[in-house]
Structure 1
Amino acid sequence: MKVIVGLGNPGLKYALTRHNIGFWVVDRLSEEWGIPVGKEKWKAQVGEGRVGTEKVVLLKPETYMNRSGQSVRPALDWLKCDLEDLLVIYDDLDLPPGKIRLRLKGSAGGHRGVQSIIDHLGTADFKRIKIGIGRPDSPVPVTDYVLSRFNEEEDEPIADAVQRAVDAAKAWIDRPFEEVMNEFNRNRESRIGPPGEDG
């Protein structure tokens, strides 16, 4: 079994905002795999199906971002899913738009949705796909920035990043995550902003 969680906020008000990019990836996976995400379970929108011989559960918490762990923990408990089979997909301020980064584990890095999951699971040892949304050029509060929409210059790199995140998640279904991580982390250049390490 694989459980893939995309983080975001529920409702049309937030649907196209930077903070909801994790939802976008799950929606795309839902389309490509033919696994509808619409059941109400574990305070989330859920889709369950099979990809090849693997059972896959797609999860979009509806607790609002900062309480994501209130959905993820009961889902894993009910499904009796091992942490090694959990993948969380979310936005990252420290990556430029157009860049993704896969990680086996790590801190929340200031992301409150991820921190909520860490708090409820009691560990930070779960796989992630982080999608860059960049930081504001002007002194805009982070809260306002993550709830804003992408600008026209960012649309193409973001669409590309979402598709690569989808491709990485699909690759993980039948390949070791470390192998997928090495492949998708290889491209360290961004289509927006200067190249550089992101931690």
Structure 2
Amino acid sequence: MIPFFGRLLGKKPREEEVDLMKKFLVVGLGNIGPKYHNTRHNIGFRILDHLAEEESLSFEPAKLGDVATYKFKGRTFILLKPSTYMNLSGKAVNYWLQKEKVPLENLLVVTDDLNLPFGTLRLKTKGSDGGHNGLKDIQAQLNTTKYTRFRFGISDEFSKGRQVDYVLGEWEEEEEKKMPERLKTSAELIRSFGTAGVNNTMNTFNGK
């Protein structure tokens, strides 16, 4: 970002600043371990895994998570699956933002959302944690609610008192049938976030 006085004087951003604006941190939220692999709560991991598979990328173990680097149209996407478990996601997000010097506006957090029908995609540039422990920890670590989150609807088809079992449960057969198309569109949304910008991406993909 150009310093305030530099903007007033019409100064151009330094090459280093331009490069940083082309770098993005995309964090898929989830829990590590085989028993969580195909659960609703792990849709963030699954979306990043799908993008990596499309682009023949490999995740490598690194500090606080598994990481893959994706180059696309002059942009660099750092894909992160935290290894901290959901409730401590903010620690990994904060570390990798600082390590890669990614501007906060170039952070995208991919998460499940009970308040949206299955497969609904919604991008927001800020908001509350909505009771989501992963988002709650990110907010606490970053000390702000102003970061972009990509919410994937998992619906709320659970009986009273069964929320935990539901989010940690596996997808229904009918949901799995629709998943390939939903994952493909989710990958397109992530690419658009880095290339077309957040506002254009919201207009194109929200509710899609």
Same fold (TM over 0.5): yes
With 160-169 and 91-100 compared, the bigger mean Cα shift is at: 160-169
Aligned equivalents of 2:57, 2:25: Cα separation in 1: 13
Matched, 1:89 2:110: yes
2:84 maps to 63
| TM-score between the two structures when normalised by the length of structure 2 | 0.84
Match of 2:164 among 140, 143, 148: 143
Query: C-alpha displacement at 1:53, in angstroms?
Result: 1.6
Describe the superposition over 1:160-193 as per-residue Cα deviations: whole angstroms up to 9, x where unpaired.
3322211100122211110011111154xxxxxx
Conservation of the 8 A alpha-carbon contact between 2:29 and 2:89 = yes
Task: Indicate the RMSD between aligned Cα atoms, in angstroms.
Answer: 1.4
Count the aligned residue pairs: 186
Conservation of the 8 A alpha-carbon contact between 1:47 and 1:59 = yes
Unaligned ranges ≥5, structure 1:
188-199
Query: C-alpha displacement at 1:33, in angstroms?
Result: 2.7
Q: Which amino acid aligns with 2:127?
A: G
Higher helix content, 1 or 2: 2
Distance 1:142 1:186, change over 3 A: closer
Matched, 1:99 2:83: no
| TM-score between the two structures when normalised by the length of structure 1 | 0.88
Conservation of the 8 A alpha-carbon contact between 1:4 and 1:86 = yes
Conservation of the 8 A alpha-carbon contact between 1:97 and 1:158 = no
2:61 maps to 39
SS of alignment partner, residue 68 of structure 1: helix
Structure 1 vs Structure 2: percent identity of aligned residues?
39
Conservation of the 8 A alpha-carbon contact between 1:39 and 1:47 = no
Aligned equivalents of 1:12, 1:37: Cα separation in 2: 16
Larger radius of gyration: 2
Aligned equivalents of 1:148, 1:61: Cα separation in 2: 20
